[in-house]
Amino acid sequence: SGIILGRLNGQMLVSDDPGHVLIVGPTRTGKGVSFVIPNGLAWPGSMVTLDIKSENLKSFGAARAAKGDAVFVFAPGSASSHRYNPLDYVRPGAEMATDCANIASFLVATGSVENEWTLAARKTVAALLGYVMTSIHFEKARHIRSAVRVISTGHDIAVVLKTIVATENAGSVPSWVLDAFNQFVAIPDRTRGSVMFNVNNAFAPWDSPLICAVTETSDFDIRDLRRKRMSIFIGSPLADLESYRPLIRILFQQIHDLLMRNLPGADEPHQVLLLLDEFYVLGRMSSLASKIAVSAGYGFRMAIVLQNISQLDETYGKAMRETLVAGAALKLFVAINDNETARYVSDALGTYTATHTTRMMGAGLSQSRVSLGHMAAPLRRPQELTRMPKDTSILLVANARPFEIGKLYFFRDRRMRRLMEEAEGAPITAPSLGHWSDPIAWLGLPLKSEQTAKAPETEAGAIPASSQQSSVGEQPEKPGKIAGAGQALGNAETLDALAGITCEARQAGRLAEPSPEIASALQDLTRIAEEIRNRWRAL
């Protein structure tokens, strides 16, 4: 009914305290076989596991399914994965700006000091996400790839955003999105390039068809973690982790925020275990770390697994590390091999009073005397802790005395072996992502226009995908249906809008003819649209 910590006096030691757990131990010292796998096999509720090497999926994925969990594997960068769309969890209305800003904060990389370019890039990325979430033109394509399309028209981004503001002003797009676009346009040219560089970097993962496919929609609903039993294994090919880390961080942050939004309801009976194996690979998760002390009681527990305490110093700094460590109600040290961790545990164990004898000799035997003294000594010296027996762990409990306990190896425990044997022959695999195809009309802005030309469909209602198509795996032999297609370039209003000229102003006769440069660009776009129409007719 809780988290398995080890053995004490021959019995399994389990904690049902709602607090979080910190597990520390160097590599190959038994963290996996004595903590991660036993809890993966036995945890009674839902589970979310950081599984970078896919070892946990192999060890207890089938056992989770045998216990009745719906099992999902989110592996960005792999051709086989369940899908997750971060925008599915953006709330409508007043909260949308906050949710989009939270996603943007993970997408836009920052150094040790935030500067004006990264802050402006975050605001622009958040606004692009908000535009995709609210514009009617993305009603069937509300995912991050659509935001990439907005900035990938081949036109000056300032012209693109001006056009959006001019054509969407009376529509459903919220004012904070349009304000952010206007603020971007007002940035001086010499600065705008630096901002746009950060925006492009933020969306770089979506250059990959694999990432486009895996974030197109969601195969699981993280809002149901306390309502239904499920297990989610989250990882990425280790060589590609640096590229896809932001997406994994967004998922964990959204899970954390959703669980903390409300206390468990009557229809949410399941406790959730966030098993953060090799926690340091996530990078800095400030919100998660700073709220660890107040998040207990929301129907989930975190098990944060590290190799040593110094890993937290490198990522969070000493002050935030102290906050995170102090916020863990239980601290389990399965082995210690560095001085910083050894000193921390030695100080936490405290001291005992040692008695020492002092004999003083005078000139004669009758003048000698003995005195007793008392002094404080460490209960365990740092050097003793680094030589701790391999089957022993140190458990620090908030507001209680520490314990020296034994490790519980899953392969030595009869109940654990039975759980694994019951699940043998039923490996868990992720589904193939299949093919990813971008909408064919990506060259044009999704503008509001009553006379927007519609692309002809085939008899089966499909749009031929003969151009602008990326694939995951092999290319399809026959054209398939492309979601979101149907808008094409080719009428005067749409082409004028691309040049920053609104349809309404042209109809009122208040604008002069476009410049030669714009006219040339419009001719090129008209030619492209004509070629597309000819291909459709040929098909």
What pLDDT is recorded for position 7? 96
Q: Is residue 79 part of a domain?
A: no
Q: Is residue 65 part of a domain?
A: yes
Positions of E strands within 151-299:
230-234, 272-276
Q: Is residue 365 part of a domain?
A: no
Are the C-beta atoms of 103 and 129 separated by less than 8 Å? yes
The rounded distance, in Å, linking the Cα atoms of 512 and 122 is 37
Are the C-beta atoms of 87 and 129 separated by less than 8 Å? yes
What pLDDT is recorded for position 517? 59
pLDDT averages per 10-residue partition of the chain, 539 residues = 93 94 94 96 97 92 94 95 98 96 92 78 98 91 94 89 85 93 94 94 95 96 97 90 93 96 95 95 89 90 95 89 92 95 93 73 63 78 93 94 95 91 80 76 43 37 36 39 33 41 37 57 69 66
The rounded distance, in Å, linking the Cα atoms of 171 and 136 is 9
b/e map 115-126, b = 16+ CB within 10 Å: eebbebbbbbbb
What pLDDT is recorded for position 442? 46
What pLDDT is recorded for position 439? 60
3-class DSSP state of 362: coil
Q: Which DSSP state fits 157?
A: H
Residue 411's alpha-carbon distances to 4, 22, 30, 59, 83, in angstroms, are 15, 23, 12, 11, 33
Domain check: are 204 and 231 in the same one?
no
Count of the separate structural domains present in the chain: 3
Domain check: are 403 and 271 in the same one?
yes
Domain check: are 251 and 393 in the same one?
yes
Are the C-beta atoms of 15 and 2 separated by less than 8 Å? yes
Residue 338's alpha-carbon distances to 24, 309, 322, 406, in angstroms, are 11, 9, 17, 21
Domain check: are 256 and 200 in the same one?
no
> Where do the H-state alpha helices sit in 217-355?
241-261, 286-290, 310-327, 339-349
- Burial of residue 16, with CB atoms counted within 10 A of its CB: 0-12 exposed, 13-18 middle, 19 or more buried: exposed
What pLDDT is recorded for position 435? 76
Domain end marker among 422, 447, 481? 422
CB count in 10 Å sphere of residue 446: 26
Q: At what angle do helices 175-185 and 157-168 cross, to 10 degrees?
A: 150
Domain check: are 202 and 182 in the same one?
yes
Beta bridge partners of 378: 351
What pLDDT is recorded for position 95? 96
Phi, psi of 422 (to 5 degrees): -65, -25
Domain check: are 165 and 129 in the same one?
yes
Look up the domain containing 445 and give its range.
434-539
Domain check: are 91 and 203 in the same one?
yes
Rounded (5°) CA angle 200-252-41:
140
Q: Is residue 303 part of a domain?
A: yes
Residue 18's alpha-carbon distances to 99, 161, 292, 300, 489, in angstroms, are 27, 48, 12, 8, 58
What pLDDT is recorded for position 513? 52
What pLDDT is recorded for position 457? 40
Q: How many residues does the chain have?
A: 539
Domain end marker among 212, 234, 258? 212
pTM of this prediction? 0.79
The rounded distance, in Å, linking the Cα atoms of 257 and 282 is 16
What pLDDT is recorded for position 503? 36
Q: Is residue 25 part of a domain?
A: yes
Q: Is residue 363 part of a domain?
A: no
Rounded (5°) CA angle 445-451-456:
80
Q: Is residue 379 part of a domain?
A: no
Domain check: are 400 and 268 in the same one?
yes
What CATH number does the domain containing 400 carry? 3.40.50.300
Phi, psi of 74 (to 5 degrees): -105, 110
